[in-house]
Amino acid sequence: QVELVESGGGLVKPGGSLRLSCAASGFTFSDYYMNWIRQAPGKGLEWVSYISSSGTAIYYADSVKGRFTISRDNARSSLYLQMNSLRAEDTAVYYCARLDTAMVKYWGQGTLVTVSS
C-alpha cells in the first residue's frame, strides 16, 4: 500500500529555515511526479510545489518562489522541501502528495510548520 510519511516540521523564527522530508513506500517512487501542498490553520488547501519524476521539471507557487526549493532522491524514495526566509504566513500543515495524471490520489498525514518569534 502507498505510504507517504512527512517529517521535519516544527517551530522556527521568522527569517529562519527548515527542511521537510517525505519518505515514500509502496510504489515505484521514480515513476511519479510529487507535490508539496500546505494548509494554514483554519484555511483551505494551497499547492506549494511539484517536481517531475526525474527531477528535471520543477514549479512553485508564486507565494514561495525564490524562498523554497523542492528536490527528490529517487534512490532513497524521498522528497524534500527546503524552506528559507520563512514568514508567519508560511505557518501551515505541509502535505507530501503523489500526483497521478493531474490529481492528488495519495496524501501523507502532514507535518506542522509554525513560524513565530
Per rule CB under 8 A, is residue 7 in the interface with another protein? no
Q: How far is the CB of 75 from another protein (least distance, A)?
A: 26
Of the ranges 16-24, 74-82, 84-92, 104-112, which one interacts with another protein (CB under 8 A)?
104-112
Nearest to 64 by CA among 84, 44, 80: 84
Beta-strand (E) ranges in 13-91? 18-25, 33-39, 45-51, 58-60, 68-73, 78-83
Per rule CB under 8 A, is residue 50 in the interface with another protein? yes
Per rule CB under 8 A, is residue 2 in the interface with another protein? no
Q: Which of 8, 71, 84, 107 forms a contact with another protein (CB under 8 A)? A: 107
CB-based contacts of 57: which residues, under 8 Å, 6+ apart? Answer: 51
Spatial distance between the Cα atoms of 79 and 12, rounded to a whole number of angstroms = 21
Q: How far is the CB of 107 from another protein (least distance, A)?
A: 4
Spatial distance between the Cα atoms of 112 and 33, rounded to a whole number of angstroms = 23
Of the ranges 10-18, 19-27, 45-53, 80-88, which one interacts with another protein (CB under 8 A)?
45-53
